[in-house]
Amino acid sequence: MSRILITSALPYINGIKHLGNLVGSQLPADLFARFCRARGHEVMFICATDEHGTPAELAAAKTGEDVAAYCERMHRVQAELAHGFRLSFDHYGRSSSERNKRLTQHFAEKLAENGFIEEVTERQVYSRADGRFLPDRYIEGTCPNCGYDRARGDQCENCTKQLDPTDLIDPRSAISGSTELEVRETRHLYLRQSLLKDEIDAWIDSQQDWPVLTTSIAKKWLHDGDGLQDRGITRDLSWGVPVKKGDAPWPGMEGKVFYVWFDAPIEYIGATAEWADAHGLDEAAWRRWWRTDEGAADVRYVQFMGKDNVPFHTLSFPATLMGSREPWKLVDYIKSFNYLNYDGGQFSTSQGRGVFMDQALEILPADYWRWWLLSHAPENSDSEFTWENFQASVNKDLADVLGNFVSRVTKFGRARFGEAVPEGGDFGPAEEALLAALTPRLRAYEAHMEAMEIRKAAYELRAIWAEGNEYLQAAAPWAVFKTDPAGAAAIIRLSLNLIRLYAVLSQPFIPDASAAMMESLNCDDWRWPGALPDALSTLPAGHAFVVPEVLFRKITDDEREAWQARFAGLRS
RNA sequence: GGGCCUGUAGCUCAAUUGGUCAGAGCAGAGCGCUCAUAACGCUUUGGUUGGGGGUUCGAGUCCCUCCGGGCCUACCA
């Protein structure tokens, strides 16, 4: 047994996430966490809402709420949806927590003590009408290059030219449209990542078998151009972690907050501390996960995220931890994902294109989504959601292969022997063939799960389900029963045990269906299988069971067409 | 512009990382079964591995080039 720390990239507080966001971090992290727990490891699975920054302030302003109230409300919404998808976080924290404030200020103090903070005076655009400094992309104007009149201050979307906000002709605030803009001087803290470039580079080089996606992005940032650039870690906003040097004021930084990308990853630690607080535990309880001098030396730390998050997790956050010169636990493995597209295009929050987490749960149970998303996870390249594929996969895999197997076994058993595991009979060649086929598949499934090869694991699991149907066909208890009832009893006894095995193995992918299978078997033995003959004799003769409700009803063509139309765009 | 990823049967994806593997699932076709959610099982039809060139005894697997798809490029998070 080992100790495994798992974090999922933090979903931003601004609105409900779509299926692409879900499959890019939280869902695969949950799969891995569930698998590790099932194998008997001690797991700490952490996630949180990322609550600071300009978009949160603007979203709150739009609904007329105070930003703190808005975040609290949206945190609840997201936590509820996470629960709906059965995401098994040990703690779902908030980056606005007191814990995170203190940790963020602590890291800033340590970084400053060690010479990794520099104060820089820069010039930024200030909007008098909005009463705030504007990030580059919140300034719009006419592109000096192509004349496009809605170019953003960081880049023109029309001609893709990189811009500086002061390049724009007739610049205006993208928030209010106001043209009362002026350039003001403001002072900010920079994280001197460049000083840690070689250290980070060596650390990346020392990692084994990271996905190409992860290392190539990190290497690009480390070696491109002048190498790793220093990065501003403060902003002129009111909503965020106040800039302080530990507990002490930071002269010249009054009224400023840390940049969300500085405090968000620190919330991985903060949320673990929040977990301890929520359970009435002491400091040591969370520090043993994060401080290598206090017990975390033997922890394996795995992060899950979409590719857009990779630079921050391979560079900035490690720089923060390393620069503190304190023994904080660094990540051991980064599992990164490409994007999931929606039916020929991208998911779009603004256009309401694609399926969002709340809508998904309205129309189908979580297991349907979990299975499709995980078995089609965008591991090697961007992948695409289509309703045809979704309907076909889910109906075939879940309803026909798995659900129907449970159905045919329990119904036949009940009809011939009553609702108890039947006794008698001997095993023969069909059973030997089943075990011979199942054992290597089980080991392959375990290996793929350990390696976080998600699609491969899903296909192996499906093959394991299919073995049940092949076995039934070969053993044919309905035929055997006519001449040898005891022989048929043995087949059904084994098949009922097979259902239990499937419940255990499938639980990381489809937890609700697994629970339903176990409940119908009147069983609570979730032990992961060792030797199959043992695992398949867990339910003894005489053990009561019931025929469960249909595990997975099929998606009809009418439903598919209706959903296709409903989610094509313009969310109501 | 620069960098990275990707293009394998109608669809979704595999190929121990140059060596009998060009494969699986779905879809299609045929047969079988009747316990079951018109479900299941068996057999089977599909590919000059995007095009072209090269290295090699041998290339989806390496190199060059062309074509297509995607991502990143540091003040959105």
What pLDDT sits at residue A533?
A: 93
For A232, counting Cβ atoms within 10 Å of its Cβ (0-12 exposed, 13-18 middle, 19+ buried), the class is middle
Give A539-556 pLDDT, tens digit per residue: 999 999 999 999 999 999
Whole-number Å distance, CA A28 to C1' B64?
39
Whole-number Å distance, CA A431 to C1' B16?
30
CATH number of A391-535: 1.10.730.10
Most confident residue range from A144-153, A196-205, A213-222: A196-205
Please report where in the chains the tokens 């650390």 appear, as a residue: A203
What are the contacts of A349-353 at 24+ separation with CB within 8 A?
A349/A15, A349/A18, A351/A569, A351/A570, A351/A571, A352/A567, A352/A569, A352/A570, A352/A571, A352/A572, A353/A567, A353/A568, A353/A569, A353/A571
What nucleotide is nearest A388 when CA is compared to C1'?
B11
Residue (of A490, A493, A477, A443) closest to A463 by Cα position: A443
What pLDDT sits at residue A571?
A: 45
Whole-number Å distance, CA A212 to C1' B6?
13
Strand pairing partners for A8? A304
Contacts of residue A411, Cβ cutoff 8 Å, sequence gap at least 6: A547
What nucleotide is nearest A11 when CA is compared to C1'?
B77
Domains of chain A, residue spans: 3-114+193-337, 117-191, 391-535
What nucleotide is nearest A220 when CA is compared to C1'?
B3
- What percentage of chain A exceeds 70 in pLDDT? 98
Cα–Cα distance measured from residue A229 to residue A450, given in angstroms and rounded to the nearest whole number: 35
pLDDT surpasses 80 at A125:
yes
In this prediction, residues A364-393 reach a mean pLDDT of: 90
Tell me which protein residue sits closest to nucleotide B11, measuring alpha carbon to C1': A389
| Residue A245, H or E segment | strand A244-245
- What percentage of chain A exceeds 90 in pLDDT? 66
Q: Which DSSP symbol is given to A136?
A: G
What mean pLDDT is reported for chain A? Answer: 91
Give A499-550 pLDDT, tens digit per residue: 999 999 999 999 999 999 999 999 999 999 999 999 999 999 999 999 999 9
Tell me which protein residue sits closest to nucleotide B70, measuring alpha carbon to C1': A382
Using a 7 Å cut-off to protein CB atoms, list the covered nucleotides of chain B: 1-6, 11-14, 24-27, 32-37, 39-42, 69-77
Whole-number Å distance, CA A140 to C1' B33?
68
Dihedral sign of CA atoms A525, A529, A534, A537 in order: positive
Tell me which protein residue sits closest to nucleotide B14, measuring alpha carbon to C1': A456
Domain A3-114+193-337 fold is Rossmann fold (3.40.50)
pLDDT surpasses 60 at A132:
yes
Q: Where on the phi/psi map is residue A132: left (φ > 0), alpha (ψ -120 to 50), or beta?
A: beta
Whole-number Å distance, CA A328 to C1' B2?
36
Q: How many CA atoms lie within 13 A of A491 on its CB side?
A: 27
**Coil, helix or strand for A155?**
strand
* Sequential DSSP letters for A401-469: IIIHHHHHHHHHHHHHH-SB--------HHHHHHHHHHHHHHHHHHHHHHTT-HHHHHHHHHHHHHHHH
User: Is the CB of residue A506 less than 8 Å from the CB of residue A462?
Assistant: no
Whole-number Å distance, CA A506 to C1' B11?
26
Q: Which segment of A7-16, A97-106, A214-223, A547-556 scores lowest on mean pLDDT?
A: A214-223
Give A334-348 pLDDT, tens digit per residue: 888 888 888 777 787
pLDDT class for A160, splitting at 50, 70, 90?
low
Per CATH, the architecture of A117-191 is what? Beta Complex (2.170)
What nucleotide is nearest A455 when CA is compared to C1'?
B13
Whole-number Å distance, CA A563 to C1' B39?
25
